[in-house]
């Protein structure tokens, strides 16, 4: 017993030595595998080392900056064991520390950009706004070895190559959608996803909160929506819903990570869960049965009944009050059983309700068939001519073309989850397109950004969701952040491969596509 213990300790010690001696000190910052790729990286040929004396200094007493510093400390301390502390200061700290500074002297950085200057003595992270500091912190994480993502104590050293990174996003909207209606995903799953979005500098989480198969957020004035309409999901499972308190908890958790939550209540189609819960919302006046299949386009609210608009006003009012973000998503897709002469006035009236509750309208591209209100945004998913109708009305476009950006599409015919009605989307297909040149007539100036929707007909838990999300989410993050001229698949796939270790350390169940040399 003792002998074998000694023997295995020798092996373990030797392994550590081999690992340590195999990890050369990083000296070339341009070799760092950062996703999304920064706007500019200049190397300086030396390196900075985290030690037991390293602390994180934030300039001034702002609670928000201290929180960002603490976020970094909480990521670095478990694996390094270095016990970094967050301190406020009004002067440059001593050698060996990290400094976070807000300065408006560099307008090019905008609301989300940052500059990271790394010397052997100091890491100085500067931004015009806190969001930029938060993104600089994500870059610092990615500059350290992959094992920084583990939450147990790891062997150092913890070194970063010296140089300067200047970085800011191409688009203001870099999002993903979670369909929690077809299958319900609980608060913990959504929080993990928010952290994954933030890690890749994405800033919007669109929640598809209602559909034929389920209503997933408590509305106090219409309690049967969740009491009855939340009770099932695709395949007939038990479904579920967020209480308003839980929804607010998600919104707050997201805001602390600079992610804006956009609630979607899909209407007038995709409404069976509501129609099953309240007979008065039906044209027939009779409640439908709950639905757990995957057909689309068979349900509609009664667009000519006053009670329908009272219902929508109550729902928008309650959700808008819980949602600090600027948008309310009204769905509007695939209303195949709503006559077009009913659909148009319906969408017009619902837009007024949204505006009356202080939110801007977002909707799937079909809403451009109606008269769009000022500041409405059209989410292009299916028909370019709809998106163009939106542009002709002065609306902005959110790019989610199903052939490129639907993250619920299968990778290829062997994929175990996902659909393929729009396309098979391999990891390179997901990356190799440019939102600003995809549709003639829709250019950079018309586009607010990109969003990857994860529809959930075929996935029912976190692992299944991650199989579809990763490793494509990184590509969408880079399309949203990095200037198109700096993007190139052959170079990107090398960076993505290095994120395999990071995803493993973060316990992400990614699909190991053969397009990438992991």
DSSP conformation letters of 96-114? TEEEEEE--S-GGGTTT-E
DSSP 251: H
| Of 419, 484, 497, 505, the one binding ligand NGO by CB under 6 A | 419
Site track 95-134 with ligand NGO (rule: CB under 6 A), x = hit: ----------------------------------------
Nearer of residues 431 and 455 to ligand NGO, judged by Cβ: 455
Cβ at position 146, least distance to ligand NGO in Å: 33
Cβ at position 197, least distance to ligand NGO in Å: 20
Which residues, 6 or more positions from 150, have their beta carbon under 8 angstroms from its beta carbon?
78, 79, 505
Q: Are 72 and 42 within 8 A, CB to CB?
A: no
Nearer of residues 34 and 367 to ligand NGO, judged by Cβ: 367
Decide if residue 381 touches ligand NGO (CB under 6 A). yes
Interface positions, 441-500, toward ligand NGO (CB under 6 A): 455, 457
CA distance 207 to 455: 10
Cβ at position 402, least distance to ligand NGO in Å: 6
Q: 187, exposed or middle or buried, with CB in 10 Å at 0-12, 13-18, 19+?
A: middle
Site track 279-308 with ligand NGO (rule: CB under 6 A), x = hit: -----------------x------------
| Nearest one of 364, 389, 375 to 266, comparing CA atoms | 364
Which residues, 6 or more positions from 24, have their beta carbon under 8 angstroms from its beta carbon?
none
**Residue 474 zone, left/alpha/beta (φ > 0; ψ -120 to 50; rest):** alpha
Residue number closest to ligand NGO, CB atom? 455
Cβ at position 421, least distance to ligand NGO in Å: 6
CA distance 247 to 310: 22
Nearer of residues 363 and 449 to ligand NGO, judged by Cβ: 363
Nearer of residues 408 and 429 to ligand NGO, judged by Cβ: 408
Question: Position of tokens 């990521």?
Answer: 75
| Of 135, 184, 200, 364, the one binding ligand NGO by CB under 6 A | 364
Nearer of residues 327 and 364 to ligand NGO, judged by Cβ: 364
Which residues, 6 or more positions from 295, have their beta carbon under 8 angstroms from its beta carbon?
212
CA distances from 367 to 100, 187, 266, 376, 379 (A): 44, 30, 12, 10, 9
| Of 173, 258, 406, 511, the one binding ligand NGO by CB under 6 A | 406
Q: Are 235 and 460 within 8 A, CB to CB?
A: yes
Cβ at position 474, least distance to ligand NGO in Å: 21
Nearer of residues 350 and 503 to ligand NGO, judged by Cβ: 350
| Nearest one of 166, 187, 204 to 360, comparing CA atoms | 204
Active site (annotated) includes residue 334: yes
Helical packing angle, 187-199 and 473-481, nearest 10° = 50
Site track 243-282 with ligand NGO (rule: CB under 6 A), x = hit: ----------------------------------------
Cβ at position 388, least distance to ligand NGO in Å: 17
| Nearest one of 487, 467, 485 to 476, comparing CA atoms | 487
Structure tokens that stand for 426 in this block: 């391999």
Nearer of residues 328 and 406 to ligand NGO, judged by Cβ: 406
Structure tokens that stand for 117 in this block: 């200057």
Nearer of residues 159 and 266 to ligand NGO, judged by Cβ: 266
CA distance 469 to 472: 6
Cβ at position 183, least distance to ligand NGO in Å: 11
Q: 70, exposed or middle or buried, with CB in 10 Å at 0-12, 13-18, 19+?
A: middle
Angle at CA of residue 9, ends 7 and 14, nearest 5°: 100
Site track 323-352 with ligand NGO (rule: CB under 6 A), x = hit: ----------xx------------------
Coil, helix or strand for 384? helix
Residue 296 has a CB neighbour count (10 Å cut-off) of: 15
Cβ at position 233, least distance to ligand NGO in Å: 13
Cβ at position 264, least distance to ligand NGO in Å: 10
Size of the site for ligand NGO (CB under 6 A): 10
CA distance 332 to 499: 37
Q: Catalytic pick from 64, 155, 334, 464? A: 334
Cβ at position 266, least distance to ligand NGO in Å: 8
Nearer of residues 154 and 299 to ligand NGO, judged by Cβ: 299
C-alpha gyration radius of the chain:
24
Nearer of residues 288 and 386 to ligand NGO, judged by Cβ: 386
CA distances from 247 to 186, 191, 264, 297 (A): 10, 11, 13, 27
List, by residue number, the catalytic residues: 334
Q: Which residues bind ligand NGO (CB under 6 A)?
A: 296, 333-334, 364, 381, 406, 408, 419, 455, 457
């Amino acid at each position: 017993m003792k002998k074998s213990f000694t023997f295995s300790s020798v092996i373990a010690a030797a392994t550590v030595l081999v690992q340590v001696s195999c990890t050369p000190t990083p000296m070339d910052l341009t070799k760092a595998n950062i996703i999304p790729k920064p706007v500019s990286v200049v190397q300086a040929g030396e390196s900075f080392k985290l030690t037991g004396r390293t602390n994180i200094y934030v300039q001034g007493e702002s609670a928000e900056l201290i929180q960002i510093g603490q976020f970094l400390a909480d990521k670095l301390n478990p694996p390094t064991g270095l016990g970094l502390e967050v301190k406020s200061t009004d002067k440059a700290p001593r050698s060996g520390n990290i400094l976070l500074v807000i300065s408006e002297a560099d307008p090019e950085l905008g609301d989300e950009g940052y500059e990271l200057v790394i010397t052997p003595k100091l890491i100085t992270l500067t931004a015009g706004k806190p969001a930029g500091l938060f993104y600089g912190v994500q870059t610092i994480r990615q500059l350290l070895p992959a094992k920084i993502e583990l939450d147990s104590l790891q062997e150092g050293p913890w070194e970063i190559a010296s140089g300067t990174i200047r970085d800011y996003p191409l688009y203001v909207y870099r999002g993903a959608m979670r369909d929690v209606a077809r299958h319900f995903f609980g608060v913990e799953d959504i929080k993990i996803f928010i952290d994954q979005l933030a890690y890749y500098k994405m800033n919007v989480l669109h929640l598809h909160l209602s559909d034929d198969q389920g209503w997933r957020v408590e509305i106090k004035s219409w309690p049967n929506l969740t009491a009855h309409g939340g009770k099932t999901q695709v395949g007939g499972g038990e479904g579920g819903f967020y209480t308003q308190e839980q929804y607010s908890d998600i919104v707050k958790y997201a805001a602390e990570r600079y992610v804006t939550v956009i609630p979607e209540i899909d209407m007038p189609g995709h409404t069976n869960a509501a129609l099953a819960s309240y007979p008065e919302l039906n044209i027939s006046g009779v409640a439908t049965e709950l639905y757990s299949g995957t057909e689309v386009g068979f349900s509609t609210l009664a667009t000519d009944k006053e009670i329908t608009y009272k219902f929508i006003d109550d729902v928008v009012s309650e959700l808008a009050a819980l949602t600090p973000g600027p948008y309310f998503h009204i769905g509007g897709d695939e209303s195949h059983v709503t006559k077009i002469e009913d659909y148009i006035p319906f969408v017009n009236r619902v837009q007024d309700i949204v505006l009356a509750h202080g939110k801007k309208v977002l909707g799937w591209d079909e809403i451009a068939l109606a008269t769009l209100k000022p500041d409405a945004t059209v989410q292009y998913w299916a028909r370019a001519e709809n998106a163009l109708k939106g542009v002709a009305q002065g609306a902005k476009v959110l790019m989610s073309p199903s052939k490129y950006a639907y993250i619920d599409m299968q990778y290829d015919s062997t994929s175990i989850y996902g659909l393929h009605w729009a396309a098979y989307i391999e990891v390179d297909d997901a990356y190799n397109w440019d939102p600003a040149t995809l549709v003639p007539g829709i250019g950079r100036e018309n586009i607010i950004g990109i969003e990857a929707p994860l529809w959930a007909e075929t996935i029912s838990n976190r692992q299944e969701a991650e199989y579809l999300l990763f490793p494509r989410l990184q590509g969408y993050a880079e399309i949203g952040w990095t200037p198109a001229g700096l993007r190139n698949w052959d170079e990107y796939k090398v960076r993505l491969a290095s994120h395999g270790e990071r995803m493993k350390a973060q316990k992400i169940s990614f699909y190991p596509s053969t397009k990438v040399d992991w």
